[in-house]
Amino acid sequence: MEFGFLPMLGLNLDYPLVLSTIIEHAAATFADTELVSYGGPDVTRSSYYEAAQRSRRLASSLSCLGIGPDCLVGSLAWNTHRHFELFYGVSGIGGILHTANPRLAPAQILYTINFAGYRTLFIDPDTLALAEQLAPRLKTIDRFVLMTSRRAMPATNLANVLCHEDLIDAGDPAFAWPELDERLACMLCFTSGTTGQPKGVLYSHRGTVLSALSIGGGNGWALSASDVVLGIPGFFHCNGWGVPFLGPMYGAKLVLPGRRADDAWLYRLIMDEGVTIAAAVPTIWLGLLEHCRATGQGLGPLRRIFSGGTAPPAAMIESYLRDYGVHVSHGWGMTETTHGATISFVPDGLSDDAAVAAMRTQGKPLYGNEIRIVDDEDRPLSSDGSTPGHLQCRGHWTAGAYFKRPELDLQTKDGWMRTGDIAVIDPDNTLHIVDRAKDAIKSGGEWISSQALEEAATQHPAVQEAAVVAVQHARWQERPFMIVVLAENATVAVEDLRSHLQRFVPKWWLPDAIAFAAELPHGPTGKLQKDELRRRVADGIIAPAIASSPSGV
């Protein structure tokens, strides 16, 4: 058949990939599947049918308030059913939900909201005090919505406060979602701002739906309607790692823990709700492991945990697998990659040792993400399993620019995104993150990985946590400085620690100085705050242990 000069297009329906299709799919197909929310004093149990209806009601009320296409709306809230419905209610009418991060420093929260510049902010009863503190400096907010029922509305000095459940009650449960272009923005997340002010990443409907499809599949979360998913990462961090989309998309029961993540409580939650799959940063997983060890309890229904945000200790992966039969899916991703971009790949039939080794890597790219390493001039380097380089990523939902910051050089000339990470890639495309570029120590022109040194230190039984930062050196430009937090009642001599490290890393990597500290500063997503540590070291607040033992530090 001849089409003249026209390209021969496929004959599929032109049906846009928008977020509302996810919740409507769940309402139609998994109507009775539970959505459990521990957000307030009471546990709320609803279903995807009800969640879809409430999302439509919310959307219709928001429309009546004048919120529509291209309008930003903010949330300063934890993981609850109301926050979940906001994802759909706002984006379904063409609005954009900025999930502001209550764990950032107040000045950073103010910066993100003022920078985005919108009028309506949804808040939880337990972010109310924070909102009251911020309110005088919120330049554009003139309406707050308290995410609670009329009965539970707390007293507040905020002006113009609406009640979330009033909006739901007033809304139309049969509200018809408007037809939207799938390329429209739907969500706005800010990076955690470890280098300068947080940067906004604006996600499209199309990219968000595709990314969720990709991570939920067999080589990713391997989700099905038989699963019970617990989403611990805050909804403000990479859309809660995709959990609000993955549950309804794959028909899994969803458990939302509010803001709580303490070990004993989390353990009970997993048991009581029959959680099969859960996602969180390594700090949470280490805590749960401690709890299981201390109480001698097993992990029951839990079959798989997702660990991301930072590299988990090898001993943790090993213990989950060997002692509890729980598979650790270790993934790498950034706010700029929407959700996880790579995940540890453990084919069936591997021995436990081989499986642990695979889980320690950052894994292989999920479909839709490509990775490469380059030199300082963006020239590709070999994926030979030993050459370190700057990691770049590209794909159908990788960020190409930051929100209202076109001057920032995120994208290369040939269309790859600079990640800011240093990595090695194996010939089979397995990713090994070496370090953040700004954290790696450049000694005599060669990279030393602060993360590898930290990992080696935590393999010593006396070490609870370790951090390594660069200090200036006249001859080598930079040398590593290690700060160690000892396990309770433990001691170790500095020379013993150095000999221990030497079993894992080259001799020239050994830290020139080791200091001991009572604790290390962590950011809102559990990452070590290395800028703060560098400052403390530079100011002499953290000083090297000169004696051979940490006594007196």
Q: Choose one: 158-166, 202-210, 327-335, 469-477; the region binding ligand AMP (CB under 6 A).
A: 327-335
HSE at residue 304, side-chain half, CA atoms within 13 A, is 19
Q: Residue 507 has which token pair?
A: 């001799």
Q: Residue 87 has which token pair?
A: 């994802």
Question: Can residue 310 be called a binding residue for ligand AMP (CB under 6 A)?
Answer: yes
Q: Residue 339 has which token pair?
A: 């959700």
> Phi then psi for 50, rounded to 5 degrees?
-65, -40
With contact defined as beta carbons under 8 Å apart, do 306 and 331 qualify?
yes
Of residues 172-191, those binding ligand AMP (CB under 6 A): 191
Least Å distance, CB 153 to ligand AMP, is 34
Side chain identity at 48, as an amino acid letter?
Y
Choice between 97 and 492, CB closer to ligand AMP: 97
Tell me the C-alpha distance between 306 and 64, whole Å: 40
One symbol per residue from 269 to 308: x for binding ligand AMP (CB under 6 A), - otherwise; what is it? ---------------------------------------x
Tell me the C-alpha distance between 98 and 112, whole Å: 9
Is 336 part of the annotated catalytic residue set? yes
Q: Which residue among 309, 388, 389, 395 contacts ligand AMP (CB under 6 A)?
A: 309
> Phi then psi for 58, rounded to 5 degrees?
-60, -45
Rg of the chain in Å (alpha carbons): 24
Q: What is the sign of the dihedral through the CA atoms of 494, 499, 502 and 507?
A: positive
Is 34 part of the annotated catalytic residue set? no
Q: Which residues of 237-252 are buried (b: 16+ CB within 10 A; e: fewer)?
A: bbbbbbbbbbbbbbbb
Tell me the C-alpha distance between 15 and 425, whole Å: 38
State the DSSP string of 261-304: --HHHHHHHHHHHT--EEEE-HHHHHHHHHHHHHHT---TT--E
Is 177 part of the annotated catalytic residue set? no
Least Å distance, CB 431 to ligand AMP, is 9
Question: Can residue 332 be called a binding residue for ligand AMP (CB under 6 A)?
Answer: yes
Is 253 part of the annotated catalytic residue set? no
Of 50, 85, 336, 454, which residue is the catalytic one? 336
Burial class (CB in 10 A: 0-12, 13-18, 19+), 485: middle
Least Å distance, CB 437 to ligand AMP, is 9
Question: Can residue 213 be called a binding residue for ligand AMP (CB under 6 A)?
Answer: no
Our CA dihedral for 110, 116, 120, 123, rounded to 10 degrees, sits at -40
Choice between 95 and 231, CB closer to ligand AMP: 231
Least Å distance, CB 147 to ligand AMP, is 24
Least Å distance, CB 411 to ligand AMP, is 16
One symbol per residue from 404 to 443: x for binding ligand AMP (CB under 6 A), - otherwise; what is it? ---------------xxx-----------x--x-------
Tell me the C-alpha distance between 288 and 282, whole Å: 10
Least Å distance, CB 279 to ligand AMP, is 12
Q: Which residue among 127, 219, 362, 430 contacts ligand AMP (CB under 6 A)?
A: 362
Choice between 120 and 194, CB closer to ligand AMP: 194
Question: Can residue 334 be called a binding residue for ligand AMP (CB under 6 A)?
Answer: yes
Of 140, 370, 442, 478, which residue is the catalytic one? 442
How many amino acids of this chain bind ligand AMP (CB under 6 A)?
A: 20
Least Å distance, CB 172 to ligand AMP, is 37
Q: Which residue among 525, 537, 542, 545 contacts ligand AMP (CB under 6 A)?
A: 525
**Residues acting as catalytic residues:** 191, 336, 442, 447
Question: Which positions lie near ligand AMP, rule CB under 6 A?
Answer: 191-192, 238, 308-311, 330-335, 362, 419-421, 433, 436, 525
